[in-house]
Amino acid sequence: MAANGEEPLLSVSNLQTVFYTDKETIYAVDGIDFDVKRGETVGIVGESGSGKSVTARSIMGLIESPGKMLEGSSIRFDGQELTEFSAEEYQAIRGSGIGMVSQDPQQSLNPVYTVGNQIMEALEVNRGMSGEPARQEAIDLLEAVAIPDAARRLDEYPHEFSGGMRQRAVIAMMLACDPEFLICDEPTTALDVTIQAQILELLRDLQAEHGLSIIFITHDMGVIAEIADRVNVMYAGEIVEQAPVEELFADPKHPYTRGLLEAIPGRTEQGEQLRTIEGDVPTPNAPAEHCRFAPRCPVAFDACERIPPQPVTVEDGDEHTASCLLYPEGETEAERAEHHRAAAGERRRGRAESGGEP
């Protein structure tokens, strides 16, 4: 529940998305919970392979065999349970309610149609516009995303656009669908730092103007600092820390978050890939029986190898949580271990009741 008592626009709870491969089951997203309130930007940050894109694709209804969302997963959007949607209902909501901008704008733009045709097509499908009014609206949208000389560029093909301009065109196409909600999966990663900053500014402006809610996925803590109101830090399929952005930077609690922050050169520079915590993200191929970060954690102790950490509130209020056996603060190691063991047991029982694994 949002602090002001308003229902969040999106509520993800106990989302478990797995992939069945020949030799194992990959728990790509392993029981995550988070909300997005109306008009806010929630960041999801973590190294490669932590489950960020699978989270986005789960929300968008784009998980295909051998992938599956397990029973007990819930994605509530604007009062509707998306996990119960049919393919057609999902298609409709992808058209009008939820838009996605991915790292590769090629995926969203068709090379054989002009940019204008594609935007006008979206306007026709979603707003019933056609002819000259649709063309004028398409020009307005290209102008809204700061594409110069919009009327002329409307008749160009995607390959005639630079990378940054293509990404803007994709955002314009999303806006043609009038979404309430935008999922941006590393939309600026392939772009140079200046263009990246411009796209971030554009998203902020659009948000202010249209009241958009945004999930913004990135490896880059610098980008998170610029764009997010609240942040989910993901590691190996789990959210290990959640906090308002200022608090995350001022007082990170999880050793993984601390590692990510230490990896930012000068903390403000953008575009740097995080790769300085020694070791790699493990592929989760079984439900968590321990802390998945423990093998790389500088402060891990015995119990971390035996108990799967559960979210603990680490500041006043309930907005900042860390899933780590270092918390609750002020308790002995044995007390903390017991706290997490009990919470993990409760979570397992909850899952069993709702039909999820294990």
Which residues make up the interface to ligand ATP (CB under 6 A)? 19, 21, 26, 28, 46, 48-54, 67, 219, 283
Q: Which residue type occupies 227?
A: I
Region for 330 from its dihedrals, namely left if φ exceeds 0, alpha if ψ lies in -120 to 50, beta otherwise: left
Any contact of residue 53 with Ni ion (CB under 5 A)?
yes
Q: Which does 46 bind (CB under 5 to 8 A by kind): Ni ion, ligand ATP, none?
A: ligand ATP
3-class state of residue 323 by DSSP:
strand
> What per-residue string of b and e applies to 234-262 under the rule 16 or more CB within 10 Å gives b?
bbbbbbbbbbbbebbbeebbbbbbbbbbe
Q: Which stretch binds Ni ion (CB under 5 A): 46-54, 148-156, 157-165, 252-260?
A: 46-54
Smallest separation, CB 10 to ligand ATP (Å): 18
Please return the burial class of 181, using the count of CB atoms within 10 Å of its CB with bins 0-12, 13-18 and 19+.
buried
Closer CB to ligand ATP, 150 or 233, in the complex: 233
Per-residue tokens: 170: 């994709």
Closer CB to ligand ATP, 45 or 172, in the complex: 45
Q: Which does 67 bind (CB under 5 to 8 A by kind): Ni ion, ligand ATP, none?
A: ligand ATP
Q: Which does 188 bind (CB under 5 to 8 A by kind): ligand ATP, Ni ion, none?
A: none
Smallest separation, CB 226 to ligand ATP (Å): 18
Total residues at the site for Ni ion (CB under 5 A)?
2
Q: Which does 254 bind (CB under 5 to 8 A by kind): Ni ion, ligand ATP, none?
A: none
Interface residues toward Ni ion, by CB under 5 A = 52-53
